[in-house]
Amino acid sequence: DAKTTQPNSMESNEEEPVHLPCNHSTISGTDYIHWYRQLPSQGPEYVIHGLTSNVNNRMASLAIAEDRKSSTLILHRATLRDAAVYYCILSAPDNYGQNFVFGPGTRLSVLP
Amino acid sequence: DTGVSQDPRHKITKRGQNVTFRCDPISEHNRLYWYRQTLGQGPEFLTYFQNEAQLEKSRLLSDRFSAERPKGSFSTLEIQRTEQGDSAMYLCASSPSVGNQPQHFGDGTRLSIL
């Protein structure tokens, strides 16, 4: 299974940008990069995904390195509601469930 | 709200009892997944359905576990002769079958074994 490496925890101040890194040095050419987040007592929530180009949506931006061996999830203005565990996952094109290998993720704390 | 629905949200049972959980996916989603999540860990894949066909099972899914999706809509996950180690959050997710689409998760069923 393709693996990702993320810091265990990060802190941010409210209303400041947050850059959450993810290393995936063994990524294959066809793997998609997905980001999910999980709030306490809830299931994971989809944030964003991409293949090669940077992606933006209403929640966040995804910056993918040129060699695709790392990526960064960018929250432009952190709010207290963004405090969660963030997971970076690689997914093969067929998107079967066995390709979603969740690591322990990064626990983001947002300070008021 | 047309998200993934799971029932019950919490289940407390004695060791050795059987339990069954239900998942109602987003209606137009062909794919349905079950995961298990223990405290402090990310979700672990258990099994996957494409419509009513169970196409993949993790080695985590022992013979005490069985999942069904009889009409390609809702799914059930049954655990027989529960053990202490079965205590976890059981998550269901669904996705369309076209392209690399995100999975949409329910809020899970938390199982506690006494």
End-to-end Cα, chain A, rounded Å: 38
Q: Which residue has the tokens 């998200």?
A: B3
The whole-number pLDDT of residue A96 equals: 58
A4 closest CA partner among A45, A29, A30, A33: A33
Grade residue A108 by pLDDT with cuts at 50, 70 and 90: very high
For residue range A25-35, list pLDDT tens digits in order: 999 888 899 99
Task: Of A82-96, B13-27, B50-64, give the lowest mean pLDDT range.
Answer: A82-96
Cβ-nearest to B102 among A49, A85, A93: A49
Cβ-nearest to B104 among A41, A46, A103: A46
Contacts of B58 in chain A (CB under 8 A): 98
Question: Per-residue pLDDT for A100 more than 70?
Answer: yes
The whole-number pLDDT of residue A1 equals: 54
The whole-number pLDDT of residue B60 equals: 83
Contacts of B53 in chain A (CB under 8 A): none
The whole-number pLDDT of residue A29 equals: 86
For residue range B34-51, list pLDDT tens digits in order: 999 999 899 999 999 999
Are A101 and B45 a contacting pair at CB < 8 A? yes
| Spatial distance between the Cα atoms of A18 and A108, rounded to a whole number of angstroms | 9
Cβ-nearest to B42 among A32, A98, A104: A104
Distance from CA of A98 to the nearest CA of B (A): 6
Are B43 and A44 a contacting pair at CB < 8 A? yes
| Spatial distance between the Cα atoms of B63 and B72, rounded to a whole number of angstroms | 22
For residue range B36-93, list pLDDT tens digits in order: 999 989 999 999 999 999 988 888 888 999 999 998 899 999 999 999 999 999 999 9
Provide the strand spans (E) within B2-114: 5-7, 10-13, 19-24, 31-37, 44-50, 53-57, 65-68, 75-79, 88-95, 104-105, 109-113
